Structure 1
């Protein structure tokens, strides 16, 4: 196997960190769901618990959206300093992100009704 140059290793490090974090997050979510199913006595009990606590999860999502909204100007300024030509890409990212959040929340509300 050929040896990687230090530049190639430095370029791969953030990608490996992101992939590792996503795998860890997936495993933690899977473990939480399996534990919840076990503690609630089955999938029906787990679903009933979720339905009973839906308002709490809605408040949690609102807090998460507020934190993202508060951090976005900092991240946007930082990106614009590094790449002044990224305005269009950032606008596209903003529109797609807001659309994904709106559609996700709308699907939750339509599911409840």
Structure 2
């Protein structure tokens, strides 16, 4: 076996495997939901029209998801800061928080631009 294979050992970690399995499951679930929606709406155009008509509901759903994520993040952040009080942890958390806020802004901006 080549030495390069051992560098990928992290890929076979149980935790990474579970995360990949969850991501794959969510992808399959999204595909199935879209296929069912297209069949119920009669066509792709009908499905897109239905989604456009219900854009407000989807926005409320996303806001609820963001609120739940923020609540979970604050809970996790409080526990992490209690466990690791040094300054490096605070800087890492701040970088992750800034990146997350920028990602949400980019996602919502792209949704807003598509709606116009």
TM-score by length of 2: 0.81
What is the rounded CA distance, in whole Å, between the counterparts of 1:56 and 1:91 in structure 2?
A: 31
- Aligned residue number for residue 100 of structure 1: 103
Spell out the pairing of 1:30-69 with structure 2 (5 A cutoff). 30-69=31-70
What is the rounded CA distance, in whole Å, between the counterparts of 2:65 and 2:23 in structure 1?
A: 18
1:41 CA displacement: 0.9
- Aligned residue number for residue 5 of structure 2: none
What is the rounded CA distance, in whole Å, between the counterparts of 1:72 and 1:38 in structure 2?
A: 38
Structure 1 stretch displaced more, 16-25 or 75-84: 75-84
Structure 2 unaligned residues grouped into runs of 5+:
1-8
What is the rounded CA distance, in whole Å, between the counterparts of 2:56 and 2:95 in structure 1?
A: 31
TM-score by length of 1: 0.83
Structure 1 stretch displaced more, 49-58 or 74-83: 74-83
Secondary structure of the structure 2 residue equivalent to 1:86: helix
Count of paired positions: 104
Structure 1 unaligned residues grouped into runs of 5+:
1-7
- Aligned residue number for residue 15 of structure 2: 14
RMSD, aligned α-carbons: 1.9
Higher relative contact order (CA 8 A, sep 6+): 2
What is the rounded CA distance, in whole Å, between the counterparts of 2:85 and 2:103 in structure 1?
A: 25
Secondary structure of the structure 2 residue equivalent to 1:92: helix
Secondary structure of the structure 2 residue equivalent to 1:50: helix
